[in-house]
A and B are shown apart, each in its own frame.
Chain A
Amino acid sequence: MRVTLIDYGAGNLRSAAKALLAAGAEAVDITGCAVAVARADRIVLPGVGAFGACIAALRGISGMEEALNTAVRRRAVPFLGICVGMQLMADEGHEFGVHKGLGWIGGSVRRMRPAGLKVPQIGWNAVESTTGSLVQPGYAYFVHSYAFDVTEPADVAGLASYGAPIVAAVQRDNMLGLQFHPEKSQSYGLSLLGRWLARG
């Protein structure tokens, strides 16, 4: 199947595209065009950077937020958000100010304050999965200072521990969001991308 990878100047597009292809995607269309996103069959939203800068960049593309809502919320095409791309699914993010997110998964993105541990969390942490999740147990690569504080426990698809439990993945209906980087998590990440691609 074809995957539409959104280019809004805030993601590691090349790595994400190559990993999707290695995981079994037939083609990856990298686009910053809202019309293409509105018509897409399967969408990946990457994200590297600060929440505010990322959401501003996304909204800076005319019609992009509406196109995402059309495809993901109304047409219910499979959606995958990676790292900040996952965080943008939240109601709001608190990084360099408070910024409104896409509002798809209830909750807010806040700075982690784990007692006695370094922030950002950088490295491989063990992910625990929840029932019915696409996410399986294993080590994934995290690099983040902010974590998604999810309102509805049913939306949590994976947890890791960093001083306290942190949300490693969210999943609801056609939407999956990963705090870690599957495109940087060697075989663990590729197999997860493969399961996401194989799903409906």
Chain B
Amino acid sequence: MTLAVRVIPCLDVANGRVVKGVNFVGLRDAGDPVEAAARYDAEGADELVFLDIAASHENRGILLDIVGATADCCFMPLTVGGGVRTADDVRALLRAGADKVSINSAAVERPELISELAQIFGEQCITVAVDAKQVAPNRWEIFTHGGRRATGMDAVGFAGEAARRGAGEILLTSMDRDGTRSGYDIALLKAIVAAVPVPVVASGGVGSLADLVAGVSEGGASAVLAASLFHFGEASIAEAKAVLAAAQIPVRFT
């Protein structure tokens, strides 16, 4: 009887479609987001993450429609991020059916936003997405705007500040690994897990089911996120859980 490690398929969405790139660029179409969500729901995914990687103001309605349509048929946890800047943005996503909202660039620009949102919506609702890139041995810096903009900020320090300000969870993506299928950046993951009292979701770089095991047993992640591995049919959610369970990691079977 214990909390299960979450297996989370991530749907990167742009202009109403699921897309997947390498190192945050070079996007490839991966289908309809609501259909993909329903498939993952049926497969027993523990949570879904939608990231609006285009995140343009004029396309906000499309994202809300996708979240709403998904929440109407999938009775499972949904986390949504991309372009979230204000309490009104959070409210709109929650009303559409999101359970948690992920903030990134806006939190880096103005960390007070994390505190403000946690006060209104509760810390359990606010995920801070940390997109980090290695700049030296054991030193990673924060990038924003989908990985395009360097900030010079230390990723471990920022994750700690985010948690102190009320982030309920850190969604940690290694931009060096994202889309490369070479595994999570375990050193980065360990550093962030040790620095924050909140759960850390490992993201970026999964190429095989063994990478998921490493994220938990070596990296200490509370949840493992992958995109391509699941989207292109290489592995199912059930297979992922079977491999985790074989490594003595608690999972929920459905």
Chain B nearest CB, measured from A184 CB (Å):
5
CB-nearest residue of chain A to B45 = A186
Cβ-neighbour of B77 out of A120, A160, A184 (below 8 A): A184
Cβ-neighbour of A124 out of B4, B73, B97 (below 8 A): B4
Cβ-neighbour of B2 out of A18, A53, A125, A189 (below 8 A): A125
Pair A190/B199 contact, Cβ less than 8 Å: no
Count class of interface residues, chain A = 35 or more
Given A96-B119, A123-B6, residue A183 in contact with residue B252 (CB < 8 A)? no
List of A residues within 8 angstroms of B95 by Cβ: 12-14
Chain B nearest CB, measured from A28 CB (Å):
13
Q: How far is the CA of A56 from the CA of B124 in the complex (A)?
A: 19
Q: How far is the CA of A168 from the CA of B253 in the complex (A)?
A: 20
Q: How far is the CA of A162 from the CA of B2 in the complex (A)?
A: 7
Q: Which residues of A contact B (CB under 8 A)?
A: 12-15, 18-19, 22, 48-50, 53, 84, 95-96, 117-126, 128, 139, 141-145, 160-162, 181, 183-187, 189-190
Given A13-B95, A14-B95, A186-B41, residue A120 in contact with residue B71 (CB < 8 A)? no
Cβ-neighbour of A15 out of B2, B47, B71, B199 (below 8 A): B71
A contacts with B: majority SS: mixed
List of B residues within 8 angstroms of A160 by Cβ: 1
Q: How far is the CA of A187 from the CA of B72 in the complex (A)?
A: 14
Pair B68/A144 contact, Cβ less than 8 Å: no
Q: How far is the CA of A163 from the CA of B95 in the complex (A)?
A: 32
Cβ-neighbour of A122 out of B2, B97, B124 (below 8 A): B124
Pair A19/B125 contact, Cβ less than 8 Å: no
Q: How far is the CA of A30 from the CA of B209 in the complex (A)?
A: 43
The 3 closest A-B pairs by CB, nearest first: A120-B124, A124-B252, A49-B122
Q: Which residues of B contact A (CB under 8 A)?
A: 1-6, 41, 44, 46-47, 68, 71-73, 75-77, 94-100, 118-125, 168-169, 197-200, 222-223, 252, 254
Chain A nearest CB, measured from B136 CB (Å):
28
Pair A123/B99 contact, Cβ less than 8 Å: no
Q: How far is the CA of A50 from the CA of B126 in the complex (A)?
A: 12
Q: How far is the CA of A48 from the CA of B90 in the complex (A)?
A: 12
Pair A22/B75 contact, Cβ less than 8 Å: yes
Cβ-neighbour of A139 out of B97, B197, B252 (below 8 A): B252
Q: How far is the CA of A96 from the CA of B122 in the complex (A)?
A: 10
Cβ-neighbour of B119 out of A13, A53, A190 (below 8 A): A53
Given A50-B122, A120-B124, A124-B6, 10 new contacts (CB under 8 A): A14-B96, A15-B99, A18-B75, A48-B125, A119-B197, A119-B198, A120-B123, A120-B199, A143-B125, A145-B124
List of A residues within 8 angstroms of B73 by Cβ: 18
Pair B197/A14 contact, Cβ less than 8 Å: no
CB-nearest residue of chain A to B95 = A14
Given A122-B222, A124-B252, residue A48 in contact with residue B122 (CB < 8 A)? yes
CB-nearest residue of chain A to B125 = A48
CB-nearest residue of chain A to B118 = A50
